[in-house]
């Protein structure tokens, strides 16, 4: 059977790399005595596939992973044994059995929602901030540099920004953003912040805090969660 | 308290490499209430998290102490240079991983001395914790600073900085030490009177309090003697040994790190000690006698550890695992049992014989990566000198078998600069490498594997170590070591042979700190002040600073490393008794010069090394008990 887990990455969990998480998941399933299925071949590895890698330093309350087991087990039992075996950096939020024929998580997830908190160095009103974001929103394209295997290339991120809402709270601003993710393109919240900094004159500090609220699948303009398909 | 934790997590960790080195909330971590215990202790490992967490001794003591109601033990590692810089800039004291308490707030800090070139990190960690470096400068309110581990068999270079050392195996003695400290404080309403406490601690067998001993030197500056100068203190400290590995504590719920560490697997200790008797090997002398853990217990422990850790590999660790009398049955049982769960079994090193090769074949059914053997020397003559009971025939047999079984990469460990070594012996290293390579070429061609074999020869430099038959031997000079390294390099002309060798100045310093006396403490301090730390990390090793400091301190390191000793010489570690007698060591040294081999006492006569008689212990070989 294949189970889909929705999990969160806590404040300390945000420092785990994707590889750390992969190793941890395998160990968690072993500790939980759940029968992991392995790939065939010369160097078998457990059939664990993640939704979308979370950057180091980012917390999240909406991460997904699909894990294949060799036999059927009640979901409740799986959840209970996982809870005991899970280290404090990761917490299981939901679990569901999924149909093997459906597409893999990586292929379908295409939207990520983030909350970004940034300290302000000066003061700014809500109206001024709204105006600034509108200005950002109206820019037709925005190029960022990406370092790839074939050197540095320019990528337009504007079309990957689906929504941008900001709020001024005391000496901080909080921005909620809906960004493209997945195999067809990926926009990083840091890049959007850089864009805001460059296009508007808002005195923003360093040390931002990024939280991923969730990963979604956008179908016909509507967002559904990976647990709903 | 958690204000520090929050601050570090929010403001600092995003700016350092591998932040999880400093977080410490791993699976199976033990967090005890600070106020709920009578004594708070800290295990300090003077190297990176990834290195320290791979150390079994720390795992044993950490969980053992934390299982006691009255004590807690937390951990701290050397922060990497990026973290250190931020700690200094922000004026944050070095803190423990579990509760984020500044290390200064612990009652007792225990460092482990695993290798000499970690010593500068100890000073750095103390200073980062705001603790006075020298024992004499610490007050009754400062933590007690103690150390254990193999380098305590000559801890004199560190004597100025430590309140006491624990010599030998720590499982039993650590609890006696903590009890003594607790009782001392209870009698004094939590206060400590260090001089009285140290006196009490020194009554525990295996505890060495350096301040009670005085070091003396001759007019020419050479070492004269070290002698107890305090009433009621023993002139010699005898190492502690556990008698039965089945009866001794072993942690069954070890911490599972988030990040990849050096030995990222279950470490199952199958035996302790080694009596093969290699004459250069300190571990083989100071951890005697051989005590095996029974197969029945090992299988049980493995089962438990698989469940509590989730690791997919069980490493059977010891100084020489293929020597365990029931290792074959053990490996059989474990591989069968865990095959389906994809949990592998591994051996850290292999003896050069067909028995070990059979074991390797059994456990490496899937992955055929490199296979490592340690002939240590290039000719039979020199292998006899060092008492390494390996023949060229053995080596050719096992490599033949390895290539035939599908391996294509063979690694060979050698040592350069061994006593009596000539260039003929170096030619022998090169010859062996070529012979193994040619064997590989032939077999792989025959099997039509379409790949080229690879032979790696790793050649380290001989470092004379205390409590070994070679403790009186001079090390080759730097120039000679480097010449020999080049000599081998020039002779390796095949790209399928990879030649690795160590930094010679590092081996020289290792010899100096292994055999040096108490005066080295001030050299160490000055070198650390000059910026030396993480010396065993090539990118941080600053030999020029060390050279300057030796000059400034008017301490000639060559007189330590290059000196040829006599049996009658007093040595800076003579007051520390590792069970093996000096007479035995000297006899072994004589036999080395005759190229005479001394047999392993498990299979031959007792070689009268003195351990069993002196320490009231015995060899514990499990197969004999159960009948064959």
Q: What is the C-alpha separation between B588 and B381, in angstroms, rounded?
A: 15
Q: Chain A partners of B310 at a C-beta cutoff of 8 Å?
A: 26-31, 85
- Does the pLDDT at position A101 exceed 80? no
CA distance B308 to chain A (A): 6
Range of the structural domain that residue A89 is part of: 2-106
Whichever domain contains A39, its CATH number is 3.30.70.580
The answer to whether B312 contacts A33, with C-beta atoms less than 8 Å apart, is no
- Does the pLDDT at position B560 exceed 60? yes
What ipTM goes with this model?
A: 0.90
Q: What is the C-alpha separation between B184 and B193, in angstroms, rounded?
A: 8
- Residue written as token pair 């979901």: A75
Tally of domains within chain A = 2
Which residues neighbour B33 within 8 Å (Cβ) at sequence distance 6 or greater?
A: none
Q: How confident is the model at residue B373 (pLDDT cuts 50, 70, 90)?
A: very high
- For residue A73, is it within any domain? yes
Model confidence pLDDT, tens digit, residues B284-322 = 999 999 999 999 999 999 999 999 999 999 999 999 999
- Does the pLDDT at position A119 exceed 80? yes
Looking at the structure, do residues A79 and A94 belong to the same domain, yes or no?
Answer: yes
Q: Least CB-CB distance to B27: which of A26, A36, A87?
A: A87
* Contact status of B304 with chain A (Cβ, < 8 Å): no
* Contact status of B499 with chain A (Cβ, < 8 Å): no
- For residue B535, is it within any domain? no
- Does the pLDDT at position A219 exceed 90? no
Beta bridge partners of B146: B110, B164
Answer with the one of A85, A106, A127 that is the final residue of a domain: A106
Looking at the structure, do residues A69 and A124 belong to the same domain, yes or no?
Answer: no
The answer to whether A12 contacts B25, with C-beta atoms less than 8 Å apart, is yes
Model confidence pLDDT, tens digit, residues B77-117 = 999 999 999 999 999 999 999 999 999 999 999 999 999 99
Q: Which of B60, B64, B67, B160 minimizes the C-alpha distance to B112?
A: B60
The answer to whether B309 contacts A27, with C-beta atoms less than 8 Å apart, is yes
The answer to whether A16 contacts B20, with C-beta atoms less than 8 Å apart, is yes
Answer with the one of B216, B238, B260 that is the final residue of a domain: B238
- Does the pLDDT at position A88 exceed 50? yes
- For residue A29, is it within any domain? yes
Give the mutation candidate from B30, B49, B258 for the A interface (greatest A CB count, under 10 A): B258
Model confidence pLDDT, tens digit, residues B330-364 = 999 999 999 888 999 998 888 898 888 888 888 87
The answer to whether B9 contacts A27, with C-beta atoms less than 8 Å apart, is no
- For residue A99, is it within any domain? yes
pLDDT for B11: 85
Whichever domain contains B63, its CATH number is 3.40.50.280
Strands A48-50 and B108-112 turn out to be: unpaired
CB atoms under 10 Å from CB of B523, counted, come to 21
CB atoms under 10 Å from CB of B259, counted, come to 21
Q: Which of B60, B107, B84 minimizes the C-alpha distance to B12?
A: B84
Looking at the structure, do residues A155 and A55 belong to the same domain, yes or no?
Answer: no
- Residue written as token pair 């919240």: A189
Beta bridge partners of A172: A119, A169
Model confidence pLDDT, tens digit, residues B138-152 = 999 999 999 999 999
Contact (Cβ atoms closer than 8 angstroms) between residue A71 and residue A14: no
Looking at the structure, do residues A114 and A213 belong to the same domain, yes or no?
Answer: yes
Looking at the structure, do residues A168 and A195 belong to the same domain, yes or no?
Answer: yes
The stretch B110-136 carries a mean pLDDT of 98
φ, ψ (nearest 5 deg) of residue B395: -65, -40
Tally of domains within chain B = 2
In chain A, what is the straight-line distance between the N-terminal and C-terminal CA atoms, in Å? 16
Ordered alpha helix ranges (H), B46-164: 49-52, 56-66, 81-90, 119-128
Beta bridge partners of A38: A46
Looking at the structure, do residues A116 and A218 belong to the same domain, yes or no?
Answer: yes
Looking at the structure, do residues A154 and A202 belong to the same domain, yes or no?
Answer: yes
Q: Which two tokens stand for residue B468?
A: 């070994």
The answer to whether A27 contacts B256, with C-beta atoms less than 8 Å apart, is yes
φ, ψ (nearest 5 deg) of residue B608: 55, 55
- For residue A229, is it within any domain? no
- For residue B595, is it within any domain? no
pLDDT for B205: 97
* Contact status of A125 with chain B (Cβ, < 8 Å): no
Answer with the one of A106, A140, A164 that is the final residue of a domain: A106
Looking at the structure, do residues A50 and A117 belong to the same domain, yes or no?
Answer: no
Looking at the structure, do residues A113 and A219 belong to the same domain, yes or no?
Answer: yes
* Contact status of B31 with chain A (Cβ, < 8 Å): no
- CA torsion sign for B596, B608, B280, B493 is positive
Q: What is the C-alpha separation between B437 and B439, in angstroms, rounded?
A: 5
Looking at the structure, do residues A95 and A151 belong to the same domain, yes or no?
Answer: no
pLDDT for B532: 98
The stretch B447-468 carries a mean pLDDT of 95
φ, ψ (nearest 5 deg) of residue B382: -70, -35
Whichever domain contains A161, its CATH number is 3.30.70.3190
Contact (Cβ atoms closer than 8 angstroms) between residue B270 and residue B620: no
Share of chain B above pLDDT 90, in %: 90
- Does the pLDDT at position A104 exceed 80? no
Q: How confident is the model at residue B626 (pLDDT cuts 50, 70, 90)?
A: very low
Answer with the one of A63, A89, A106 that is the final residue of a domain: A106
Q: Which of B353, B352, B368, B334 minimizes the C-alpha distance to B265?
A: B334
Contact (Cβ atoms closer than 8 angstroms) between residue B456 and residue B408: no
pLDDT for B540: 95
Q: What is the C-alpha separation between B261 and B542, in angstroms, rounded?
A: 26
Q: What is the C-alpha separation between B330 and B314, in angstroms, rounded?
A: 12
Q: What is the C-alpha separation between B95 and B75, in angstroms, rounded?
A: 9
**pTM to 2 decimal places:** 0.94
Q: What is the C-alpha separation between B141 and B139, in angstroms, rounded?
A: 5
Contact (Cβ atoms closer than 8 angstroms) between residue A64 and residue A3: no
Q: What is the C-alpha separation between A26 and A21, in angstroms, rounded?
A: 9
The answer to whether B260 contacts A38, with C-beta atoms less than 8 Å apart, is no
The C-alpha torsion from A131 through A134 and A138 to A144, rounded to 10°, is 100
3-state secondary structure of B589: helix
**A-contacting residues of B 164-203, CB under 8 Å?**
none
Contact (Cβ atoms closer than 8 angstroms) between residue B546 and residue B527: yes
Q: How confident is the model at residue B450 (pLDDT cuts 50, 70, 90)?
A: confident
Beta strands in B287-421 (DSSP E): 291-292, 313-317, 344-346, 371-376, 409-416
CA distance A169 to chain B (A): 19
- For residue A206, is it within any domain? yes
CA distance B264 to chain A (A): 10
- Does the pLDDT at position B67 exceed 50? yes
Contact (Cβ atoms closer than 8 angstroms) between residue B450 and residue B514: no
- Enclosing H/E stretch for A98: strand A90-98
Range of the structural domain that residue B422 is part of: 349-463+474-509
- For residue B109, is it within any domain? yes
3-state secondary structure of B198: helix
Give the mutation candidate from A14, A15, A38 for the B interface (greatest B CB count, under 10 A): A15
Looking at the structure, do residues B221 and B354 belong to the same domain, yes or no?
Answer: no
The stretch B538-557 carries a mean pLDDT of 96
Share of chain A above pLDDT 70, in %: 99
Q: What is the C-alpha separation between B433 and B458, in angstroms, rounded?
A: 11
Which residues neighbour A128 within 8 Å (Cβ) at sequence distance 6 or greater?
A: none
Q: What is the C-alpha separation between B164 and A220, in angstroms, rounded?
A: 72
- Does the pLDDT at position B628 exceed 50? no
Strands B213-217 and B344-346 turn out to be: unpaired
pLDDT for B242: 96
* Contact status of B311 with chain A (Cβ, < 8 Å): yes
Distance of CA A148 to the CA centre of its chain: 21
- Interface contacts A/B by beta carbons within 8 Å: 68
CA distance B402 to chain A (A): 19
3-state secondary structure of A55: coil
Please calculate the CA angle B233-B239-B241 and round it to the nearest 5 degrees: 135
Whole-number average pLDDT of chain B: 95
Model confidence pLDDT, tens digit, residues B566-606 = 999 999 999 999 999 999 999 999 999 999 999 999 999 99
The stretch A155-179 carries a mean pLDDT of 93
Minimum CA–CA partner of A58 in chain B: B14
Q: Which two tokens stand for residue B418?
A: 């061994």
Looking at the structure, do residues A169 and A193 belong to the same domain, yes or no?
Answer: yes
- Does the pLDDT at position A44 exceed 90? no
Per the document, the length of chain B is 628
CA distance B20 to chain A (A): 6
The region of weakest confidence among A69-73, A95-99, B157-161, B228-232 is: A95-99
pLDDT for B367: 54
**A-contacting residues of B 348-407, CB under 8 Å?**
366-367
Q: Which two tokens stand for residue B412?
A: 């060979």
- Does the pLDDT at position B366 exceed 50? no
- Enclosing H/E stretch for A28: helix A18-31
- The DSSP call for residue A173 is E
Q: Chain A partners of B9 at a C-beta cutoff of 8 Å?
A: 11-12
pLDDT for B624: 61
Q: b or e along B545-568 (b: 16 or more beta carbons within 10 Å of the residue's beta carbon)?
A: bbeebbeebebebeebbbbebeee
Please calculate the CA angle A216-A221-A225 and round it to the nearest 5 degrees: 20
Which residues neighbour A192 within 8 Å (Cβ) at sequence distance 6 or greater?
A: A116, A157, A161, A164, A175, A177, A179
Share of chain B above pLDDT 70, in %: 98
Q: Which two tokens stand for residue B65?
A: 């102490």
Whichever domain contains B391, its CATH number is 3.20.20.70
Looking at the structure, do residues A114 and A217 belong to the same domain, yes or no?
Answer: yes
**A-contacting residues of B 329-348, CB under 8 Å?**
341-343
Looking at the structure, do residues B354 and B233 belong to the same domain, yes or no?
Answer: no
- For residue A20, is it within any domain? yes
């Amino acid at each position: 059977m294949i189970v889909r887990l929705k999990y969160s990455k806590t404040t300390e969990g945000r420092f785990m790399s994707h590889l750390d998480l992969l190793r941890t998941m395998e160990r968690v399933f072993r500790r939980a005595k759940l029968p992991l299925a392995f790939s065939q071949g010369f160097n078998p590895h457990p059939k664990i596939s993640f939704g979308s890698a979370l950057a180091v330093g980012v917390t999240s309350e909406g991460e997904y992973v699909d894990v294949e087991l060799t036999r059927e087990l009640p979901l409740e039992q799986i959840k209970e044994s996982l809870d005991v075996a899970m280290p404090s950096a990761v917490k299981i939020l939901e679990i569901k059995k999924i149909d093997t024929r459906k597409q893999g998580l990586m292929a379908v997830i295409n939207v990520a929602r983030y909350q970004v908190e940034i300290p302000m160095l000066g003061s700014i009103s809500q109206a001024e901030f709204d105006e600034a974001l509108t200005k950002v929103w109206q820019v037709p394209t925005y190029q960022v540099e990406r370092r790839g295997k074939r050197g540095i290339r320019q990528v337009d991120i504007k079309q990957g920004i689906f929504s941008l809402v900001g709020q001024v709270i005391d000496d901080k601003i909080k921005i909620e953003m809906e960004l493209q993710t997945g195999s067809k393109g990926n926009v990083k919240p840091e890049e959007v912040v850089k864009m805001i900094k460059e296009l508007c004159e808002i005195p923003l500090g360093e040390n931002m805090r990024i939280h991923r609220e969730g990963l979604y699948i956008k179908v016909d303009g509507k967002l559904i969660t990976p647990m709903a398909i | 308290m958690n204000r520090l934790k929050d601050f570090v997590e929010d403001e600092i960790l995003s700016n350092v490499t591998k932040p999880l080195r400093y977080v410490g909330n791993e699976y199976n971590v033990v967090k005890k209430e600070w106020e709920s215990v009578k004594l708070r202790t800290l295990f300090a490992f003077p190297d990176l998290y990834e290195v320290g967490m791979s150390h079994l001794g720390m795992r044993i003591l950490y969980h053992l102490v934390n299982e006691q109601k009255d004590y807690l033990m937390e951990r701290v590692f050397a922060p990497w240079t990026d973290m250190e810089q931020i700690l200094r800039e922000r004026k944050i004291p070095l803190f423990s991983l579990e509760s984020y308490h500044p290390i200064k707030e612990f009652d007792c800090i225990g460092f482990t001395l695993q290798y000499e070139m970690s010593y500068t990190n100890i000073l750095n960690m103390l200073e980062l914790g705001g603790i006075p470096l020298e024992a004499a400068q610490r007050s009754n309110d400062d933590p007690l600073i103690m150390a254990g581990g193999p380098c305590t068999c000559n801890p004199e270079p560190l004597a100025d900085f430590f309140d006491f050392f624990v010599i030998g195996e720590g499982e039993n003695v650590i609890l006696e030490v903590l009890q003594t400290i607790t009782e001392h404080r209870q009698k004094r309403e939590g206060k400590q009177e260090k001089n009285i406490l140290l006196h009490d601690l020194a009554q525990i067998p295996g505890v060495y309090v350096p301040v009670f001993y005085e070091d003396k030197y001759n007019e020419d500056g050479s070492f004269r003697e070290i002698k107890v100068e305090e009433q009621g203190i023993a002139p010699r400290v005898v190492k502690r040994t556990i008698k039965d590995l089945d009866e001794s504590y072993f942690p069954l719920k070890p911490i599972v790190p988030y990040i990849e560490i050096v030995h990222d697997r279950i470490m199952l200790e199958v035996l302790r000690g080694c009596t093969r008797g290699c004459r250069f090997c300190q571990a083989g002398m100071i951890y005697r006698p051989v005590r095996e853990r029974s197969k029945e217990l090992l299988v049980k422990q493995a089962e438990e550890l698989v469940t509590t850790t989730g690791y997919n590999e069980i490493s059977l660790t010891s100084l020489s695992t293929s020597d365990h009398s029931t290792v074959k049955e053990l490996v059989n049982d474990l591989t069968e049992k865990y095959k389906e769960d994809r949990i592998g079994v591994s051996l850290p090193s292999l003896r050069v014989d067909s028995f070990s090769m059979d074991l390797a074949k059994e456990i490496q059914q899937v992955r055929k990566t490199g296979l490592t053997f340690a002939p240590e020397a290039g000719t039979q003559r020199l292998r006899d000198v060092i008492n390494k009971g390996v023949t060229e025939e053995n080596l050719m047999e096992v490599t033949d078998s390895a290539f035939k079984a599908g391996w294509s990469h063979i690694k060979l460990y050698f040592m350069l600069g061994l006593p009596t070594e000539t260039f003929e012996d170096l030619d022998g290293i090169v010859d062996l490498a070529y012979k193994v390579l040619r064997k590989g070429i032939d077999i792989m061609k025959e099997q039509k594997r379409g790949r080229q074999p690879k032979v790696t020869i790793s050649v380290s430099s001989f470092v004379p170590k205390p409590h070994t038959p070679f403790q009186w031997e001079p090390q080759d000079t730097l120039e000679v070591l480097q010449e020999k390294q080049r000599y081998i390099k020039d002779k390796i002309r095949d790209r399928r042979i990879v030649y690795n060798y160590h930094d010679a100045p590092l081996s020289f310093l290792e010899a100096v700190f292994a055999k040096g006396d108490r005066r080295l403490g001030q050299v160490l301090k000055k070198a650390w002040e000059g910026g030396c730390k993480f010396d065993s990390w090539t990118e941080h090793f600053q030999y020029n600073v060390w050279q300057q400091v030796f000059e400034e301190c008017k301490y000639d390191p060559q007189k330590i490393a290059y000196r040829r000793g006599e049996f009658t010489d007093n040595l800076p570690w003579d007051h520390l008794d590792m069970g093996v007698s000096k007479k035995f060591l000297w006899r072994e040294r004589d036999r080395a010069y005759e190229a005479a081999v001394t047999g392993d006492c498990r299979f031959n006569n007792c070689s009268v090394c003195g351990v069993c008689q002196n320490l009231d212990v015995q060899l514990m070989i499990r197969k004999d008990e159960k009948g064959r």
